[in-house]
Structure 1
Amino acid sequence: MAKREREQRAGGARRVLAGGLVLALLAGAAVAWQTGWAQRWWDELRADAGTPADPAAVAPPPEVDVPPVVVPGAVAVAADGTAPLDPQAVRQALAPLDSPDLGRHVIAAVGPLAGSGLAYEAAEGADVAIPASTTKIVTGAAALFLLGPDRTFATTTVLDSSGAAPRLVLVGGGDPLLAREPGSATSGTTYDPERADVRTLAKRTARALRQAGTSSVELGFDDSLFTGPAVHPSWRPEYIPDEVNPISALWVNEGAALPGQGPVADPALEAARAFAQELSRRGITVTGGPTRTSVPASATEMARVTSPTVAQIVQRLLEVSDNAAAEILLRHAGLADQGEGSFDGGRRAVERMLTANGIDLRGSVLYDGSGLSRDNRLAPGVLVDVLRLAASPQHPQLRPLLAGLPVAGYTGSLAYRMDHGPPAGRGRVRAKTGTLTGVTSLAGIAVDSEGHLLAFALMADKVKKVKGALARTAMDDAAAGLGACAC
Structure 2
Amino acid sequence: MSTESRYGVRQVRARAVLTLATLNVFVLVAGVVALDIIESRPPATVPFPAAFTEDAPDMAAPEAAPIDPDRLADKLDDPMSGSGVDDGLSAYVADARTGATLYDRDAGEEAVPASTTKIVTAVSVLHSAGPDATMRTTVVNGHDDRIILVGAGDPTLTGSADPDAYPRLATLDDLAERTAETLRESGVDTVSLGYDDSRYVGSDTGPGWKSNYVHEGSTAPVHALMVDGGRVHPDRPYSEREDDPPRAAADAFADRLDDAGVDVSGQPEPVEADDGADTLASVESPPVSALVEKMMLESDNNLAEALAHQVAISEGEEPSFEGAAEATRGVLEELGVSGVHVEDGSGLSVNNRITARALVELLLVAADPDRPELHYTLSGLPTAHFTGTLNERYGSESDSSAGAGVVRGKTGTLSGVSTLAGTIYDANGRPAVFAFMANDPAAMGSTLDTFASAIAECGCS
What band does the TM-score fall into relative to the shorter chain?
0.7 to 0.9
Which residue is equivalent to 1:106? 89
Structure 1 residue 21 displacement after superposition: 4.3
Q: Which residue of 1 aligns with 2:7?
A: none
SS of equivalent to 1:149: coil
CA distance change for structure 1 residues 37 and 157 in 2, over 3 Å: closer, same or farther? Answer: farther
Deviation at 1:153, TM superposition (A): 1.1
Alpha-carbon separation, structure 1, partners of 2:18 and 2:411: 25
Task: Select the structure of larger CA radius of gyration.
Answer: 1
Judging changes above 3 Å, is the alpha-carbon distance between structure 1 residues 20 and 287 closer, same or farther for their aligned structure 2 residues? closer
Local SS of the residue matching 1:435: strand
Compared with structure 1, are the counterparts of its residues 262 and 317 closer, same or farther at alpha carbon in structure 2 (3 Å cutoff)?
Answer: closer
Deviations 1:348-389 (A, max 9, x none): 12111112111122xx31111111111111100000000000
1:84-143 deviation per Cα after TM superposition (whole angstroms, max 9, x unaligned): 541112212323222343342200111112423422111063x11111111111111111
Q: Specify which of 445, 451, 459 is matched with residue 472 of structure 1.
A: 445
Q: Which runs of 5+ in 2 are unaligned?
A: 1-11, 28-34, 46-56
Change (3 A) 1:167 1:225: same
Corresponding residue for residue 223 of structure 2: 248
Pairwise CA distance, 1:481: 1.4
Normalized per residue, the structure richer in strand is: 2
Matched ranges for 1:151-190 at <5 A: 151-160=133-142, 163=143, 165-183=144-162
In 2, Cα distance between the equivalents of 1:182 and 1:384?
A: 36
Matched, 1:339 2:346: no
Q: Any residues of structure 2 matched to 1:83-122 within 5 Å, and which? A: 85-94=67-76, 95-122=78-105
* Identity among equivalent pairs (%): 35
Residues 135-284 of structure 1 aligned to structure 2 (within 5 Å): 135-160=117-142, 163=143, 165-183=144-162, 192-241=166-215, 242-258=217-233, 263-284=241-262
Stretch moving more, 144-153 or 111-120: 111-120
Q: Which residue of 2 is the match for residue 18 of structure 1?
A: 17
What CA distance in whole angstroms lies between the structure 2 residues aligned with 1:359 and 1:196? 34
Letter in 2 for 1:141: V
Show the counterpart of 1:481: 454
Structure 1 residue runs without a partner (length 5+):
1-12, 39-73, 186-190
Whether contact under 8 Å (2:202, 2:321) holds in the other structure is yes
Cα distance in 2 for residues equivalent to 1:129 and 1:223: 35
Q: Secondary structure at the match of 1:199?
A: helix
**Which residue identity does 2:131 align to in structure 1?**
P
Higher helix share: 1
The range that moved more, 352-361 or 176-185, is 176-185
Residues 231-277 of structure 1, C-alpha deviation per residue, up to 9 Å, x if partnerless? Answer: 11421111113100001111111111259x97522211111111111
Structure 1, residues 271-327: CA drift from partner, whole Å, max 9, x if none?
111111111222222222212222223521111111111111111111111111101
SS in 2 for 1:195: coil
The two structures have a TM-score, normalised by structure 1, of: 0.80
2:290 is the alignment partner of 1:312: yes
Tell me if 1:297 matches 2:275. Answer: yes
Q: 1:485 to 1:100 in 2, by over 3 A?
A: closer
Q: 2:145 corresponds to which letter in structure 1?
A: P
TM-score (norm 2): 0.84
Deviations 1:162-183 (A, max 9, x none): x4x2221111111120002234
Report the alpha carbon displacement of residue 424 of structure 1 after superposing the two structures with TM.
Answer: 3.8
1:432 is paired with a residue whose SS is strand
The reply on whether 1:353 has 2:317 as its aligned counterpart is no
SS in 2 for 1:254: helix
